[in-house]
Structure formats: structure tokens, C-alpha cells
Chain A
Amino acid sequence: GAVVSQHPSRVICKSGTSVKIECRSLDFQATTMFWYRQFPKQSLMLMATSNEGSKATYEQGVEKDKFLINHASLTLSTLTVTSAHPEDSSFYICSVGRDRGTDTQYFGPGTRLTVL
């Protein structure tokens, strides 16, 4: 498998502020990482694909100016929620694909964001 970490695990912020979430691949150099969002009792929704050294690819309906993704190195991708609102409160999870020949994804532990 792959070891993936996220920081912070929980964050509470005021409406209008920005929050940065880090995703690190600890034992594997990942050219691609994925960002998901999950609301309570809902499915994981893919937000974007983070590509090292190039722009992220966003899914339809996800505002790229609101959810800024930076994949500056092979082990780190960051997601910044800008001008956060209460409706952005969710569980944000990143993942890394590692195994060649399959698309097995290994997930980070997730970040619980609460916007007041």
C-alpha cells in the first residue's frame, strides 16, 4: 500500500477566512493525487485531480477559484478553501494511486472542516 498523511485532522474557522489542508505521500512519489469531499451520510465526491508541476483538473461543479490546489512536489499537495462558508463544512480526503496496473487508491486520514 501507500502511507498518506493529512494535516490538520480537524480545523474550525470563521466564515470568510481561508483554510489550507496538506496531503503528504510519505513513502511514495506521487505525480497524481486526488481530493474528495464527503458530507455526512453521503458518498465520497471527487473534487479534483492534483497533478505535480501542472494545473489541477477540477470536476464539474467544483469552483477552482474557491478550492485552490497546489501540487508543488512529488510528495505534497495542498487544498486551500478560500473565503470559507458554513456550507463548505465537510470531510476532505486526499488519496494517492500507487500500484501499477491497477488504480488502487490509498486514502489519507481526512480533515474535518467546520466553518462557523
Chain B
Amino acid sequence: GQNIDQPTEMTATEGAIVQINCTYQTSGFNGLFWYQQHAGEAPTFLSYNVLDGLEEKGRFSSFLSRSKGYSYLLLKELQMKDSASYLCAPSSGNTPLVFGKGTRLSVIA
């Protein structure tokens, strides 16, 4: 089975940096996905970490520690359009992803 823990809600100011943490427990682990989901829309792929460390992709970066069962998504230079839910999903291989409730981020002016 899987256990995914993320904060339910976060609020941050436009232009700031925010870090969304995710801890997980899973039997079998290949890597960790982050998806973004705007209200009323389907999730979109953000990142996939397999190796330990930080991977940067523009304003978004994702970090993974396999030994600690921990990941975070770092969003820089926040924009209003970044208000969305961010879903952390550990992957055990070629199976459908299981998602937690996600973190609802509100960006305020």
C-alpha cells in the first residue's frame, strides 16, 4: 500500500518562494511525480525524480531523498496563475499512479 502526506493548504505572496513538502511510504519505489491541477481541470505533469537531489526546471524545482521517503516542490517567483493543487505521487513502476489529496496553494497579491 501507499501512504502520502502533504500539507492540505498553503498561502504565499506573489513573487515569493514556496516549498511544498511530501513524505511517502510505499512498497516498491521507482521515482516520484509532481503534478499540478487547477480547479476544475485535469492534472498536468510537472516533474519526475528518480535520483536523490534537486532537479531544476525553470521556476519549478523538485527534490527527492529516497532514503528519507521525502520530496519537495519548490516554486520561485510565484505568479497568481500558480494558484492550484499540487499532487505528489510516488511510483512503484508501470502501474497507475495513486495520488494523495494534494496541497492547495493560494497565491495572493
Is there contact, CB below 8 Å, between B94 and A44?
no
* Segment of A14-22, A66-74, A80-88, A105-113 in the binding face: A105-113
B42 interface neighbour in A97, A102, A109, Cβ under 8 Å: A109
Convert B8-47 into 0s and 1s, putting 1 for each residue whose CB lies closer than 8 angstroms to a CB of A: 0000000000000000000000110100000011111100
- Closest A-chain residue to B43, C-beta based? A107
From DSSP, what is the main secondary structure of chain B's interface residues?
loop
Give the shortest distance, in Å, between A9 (CB) and chain B (any CB). 10
B100 within 8 A of A: yes
Set of chain A residues within 8 Å of B108, measured between Cβ atoms: none
B58 within 8 A of A: no
Complex CA distance for A49 and B44, rounded to whole angstroms: 19
Set of chain A residues within 8 Å of B80, measured between Cβ atoms: none
Count of interface residues, chain A, beta-carbon cutoff 8 Å: 22
B95 interface neighbour in A91, A93, A103, Cβ under 8 Å: A103
- Closest B-chain residue to A35, C-beta based? B96
14 new A-B contacts at CB < 8 Å, known A93-B42, A105-B96: A41-B101, A41-B104, A43-B87, A43-B100, A43-B101, A43-B102, A46-B96, A46-B98, A95-B96, A102-B30, A102-B31, A104-B45, A105-B45, A107-B43
> What residues of chain A have their CB less than 8 Å away from a CB belonging to chain B?
1, 34, 41-44, 46, 49, 91, 93, 95, 97, 102-110, 112
